[in-house]
Structure 1
Amino acid sequence: MNWLQHLCQLLYDSHFGTYIRESDYAFSIIESVHVLAITLLVGTIALLDLRMLGVVLRGVSVTRIARTVFPLTWSGFLVMFVSGFLLFWAEAAKNYGNPAFRIKVLLLLLVGVNPLIFHTTIYRRVHEWEQLDVSPWRARAAAIASLTLWSGIIVAGRMIAYF
């Protein structure tokens, strides 16, 4: 057994993991909080992405939308991360070999790289294009990648229960 699989088994066998998994309410409450946090996170990200694609709020600058939604985005991310880790803790041994879970983790890594690249490249010059109805192609590509990756994460997350 490799170290990661061993760690997953330790989490799964822990009292806390067992409590979450076997409780009448804990798992479902945590899962509901997780879904609501994803809704907040992806909703705010989608708003900015759709603005960069020129689909919504064309008259509002990209930076104004970003400044407005980022506190909500980070709040959603924090709650999603904590609740997701608790769900993982409860089912770590099962998730270790679950292909849907592995796809979700891979997509989460990619969705983290996307804004890193975006903010260190095209967004540095946002003052040049933020008022345009449709953003430059690199910003649109990042928006499409973001929407696609988050959609994949949601689908893979839902599929975990079926593998």
Structure 2
Amino acid sequence: MKLYLALFCVSFLAATMVEGASEIPEKFFGKFELDKSENFDEFLAAKGVGWILRQVIKLAKVTKVLAKNPQSGYNMENLTSKKNTIYHGWQLGKTFEDEGLDGEKHKITFDFKDGVLSEHHIRLNDPDNSAETYYYTIENDQLVLKMVNNGITCRRWFKRSKK
């Protein structure tokens, strides 16, 4: 009985460690279109975005596409009516450089832990003051994006596209 219990514990710990190494679960993959936002204007204002630009940003159509990359890693596409960012072939925990929605070069790192996909950005032109992290979860088959800046929490809900 003790041997059985010990083997069970070792198997459980090994499975937990593999899960901790983590891959993004299938439920995160797909095409998601912006449905609604909470505190988005306040969030942008806290970042110092002016009123006119906030109105333009809020009117932009936003679609997010998350998929496994056929060669290696994952793909994340942010498709907007103003600008697109397309990150292909990234791997969890590995930093890469690419352009952000603001048009600046960023260091970007994606991670997955405890059911949350995080996307961390640091602008190369202002590394000491520009760190931002976006948190994605799946709730009721919707992709939920959470962002925090200067004490303001913003959430944006994206409906899974049937197309």
**Which TM-score band (shorter chain)?**
under 0.3
Higher normalized strand content (fraction of residues) = 2
Q: Which has the higher contact order (CA 8 A, sep 6+)?
A: 1
Higher normalized helix content (fraction of residues) = 1
